[in-house]
C-alpha cells in the first residue's frame, strides 16, 4: 500500500468513525417544507410607475413621478428609509451657487479631473444643478432632525398617498411584448406572491440589487 492510499483509507475511515461517534449521522433528517404550494395566495396591483426599493433613490423617484402626475406604487424588501445603504449615509453634499466659487460646468470639470474620469459627468452636472433643492426638501421632511430616516421618508410618501408595499422581495421583472411591464415577488411575512403591473418600472435597488 502506498503512503497516499494509506492516508486516503485511514482518513476516510477515521472521518466516518468520528461522524458516527459525534452522533451527527443520526442527526441528519429530511428537510420538510413548511409552506404548501397550494396555500400560496396571489395579489395583483397596478400603477403607472412602479418604484422598486425604498432608499434615497426610491424616495425621490416615487415623489417626483407622483408630482409629475403619475399613479405611483413603491415596493421594497425592507422598510422605507431603513433598508439598503441609505441608513448609513450621514453626510450630504449640496452644491450651492450662492457660496460656490465654481460654476456648475467648472465644478463638473474639477470633479471629473479628481475622479480621473471615472465619474459620469452628466450625473455630476445634475448633482450641481439639483442637489441643493433635494437637500432642502429633505430638510423640510425632518431628515436632519432624526438619526432614523423612516419618519422623514414617510412624510412625503403619506402626504401624497403613495401606496407602499414593504417586506416584499422582488425576484422577477415581468416582460410583455419585449418590454418590462411590471415585477413579481414574494412576501417575507405571509404566503403571498405579489404581481405588480406598471407602464414603467424604476429600479432603485441599490448597489447590491
Ligand X SMILES: Cc1cc2nc3c(=O)[nH]c(=O)nc-3n(C[C@H](O)[C@H](O)[C@H](O)COP(=O)(O)OP(=O)(O)OC[C@H]3O[C@@H](n4cnc5c(N)ncnc54)[C@H](O)[C@@H]3O)c2cc1C
- Which residues sit at the interface with ligand X, rule CB under 6 A? 52-58, 75-78, 83-86, 88-92, 169-170, 185, 204-206, 209
> Shortest gap between Cβ of 119 and ligand X (angstroms)?
14
Q: Which is nearer to ligand X, 86 or 187 (CB)?
A: 86
Nearer to ligand X, 19 or 150 (CB): 150
Minimal distance in Å, beta carbon 88 to ligand X? 3
In the complex, the smallest distance separating the C-beta of residue 55 from ligand X, rounded to whole angstroms, is: 2
Parallel/antiparallel/unpaired status of strands 164-166 and 41-52 = unpaired
Beta carbon of residue 171, minimum distance to ligand X (angstroms, whole number): 7
CB of 26 to ligand X, least distance (A): 39
Residue 206: half-sphere exposure toward Cβ, Cα within 13 Å? 18
Compare residues 25 and 148 and give the one whose CB is closer to ligand X: 148
Residues in contact with 49: Cβ distance below 8 Å, sequence separation at least 6, in sequence order = 61, 62, 65, 70, 71, 72, 73, 198, 199, 200, 201, 202
Q: CA 48 to CA 26: how far, in whole Å?
A: 55
In the complex with ligand X, the residue whose CB is nearer, 19 or 181, is 181
What minimum distance in Å lies between the beta carbon of 48 and ligand X?
19
The smaller minimum CB distance to ligand X, of residues 23 and 91, is found at 91
Between 56 and 108, name the residue whose CB sits nearer to ligand X.
56
Quickly tell me which residue has 441599490 as its cell: 206
CA distance 162 to 155: 11
What grid cell was written down for 120? 459620469
Residues comprising the chain, all counted:
209
Amino acid at each position: 500500500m502506498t503512503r497516499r492510499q494509506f492516508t486516503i483509507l485511514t482518513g476516510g475511515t477515521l472521518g466516518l468513525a468520528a461522524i458516527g461517534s459525534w452522533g451527527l449521522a443520526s442527526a441528519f433528517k429530511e428537510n420538510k417544507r413548511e409552506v404548501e404550494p397550494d396555500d400560496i395566495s396571489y395579489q395583483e396591483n397596478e400603477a403607472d410607475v412602479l418604484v422598486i426599493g425604498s432608499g434615497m433613490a426610491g424616495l425621490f423617484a416615487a415623489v417626483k413621478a407622483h408630482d409629475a402626475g403619475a399613479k405611483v406604487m413603491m415596493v421594497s424588501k425592507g422598510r422605507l428609509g431603513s433598508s439598503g445603504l441609505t441608513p448609513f449615509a450621514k453626510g450630504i453634499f449640496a452644491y450651492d451657487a450662492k457660496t460656490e466659487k465654481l460654476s456648475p460646468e467648472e465644478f463638473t470639470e474639477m470633479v471629473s479631473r479628481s475622479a480621473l474620469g471615472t465619474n459620469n459627468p452628466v450625473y455630476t452636472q445634475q448633482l450641481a444643478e439639483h442637489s441643493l433643492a433635494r437637500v432642502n426638501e429633505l430638510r423640510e421632511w425632518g431628515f436632519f432632525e432624526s438619526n432614523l430616516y423612516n419618519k422623514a421618508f414617510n412624510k412625503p410618501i403619506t402626504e401624497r398617498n403613495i401606496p407602499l408595499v414593504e417586506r416584499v422581495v422582488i425576484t422577477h421583472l415581468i416582460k410583455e411584448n419585449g418590454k418590462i411591464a411590471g415585477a413579481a415577488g414574494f412576501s417575507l411575512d405571509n404566503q403571498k406572491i405579489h404581481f405588480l403591473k406598471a407602464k414603467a418600472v424604476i429600479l432603485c435597488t441599490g448597489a447590491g440589487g
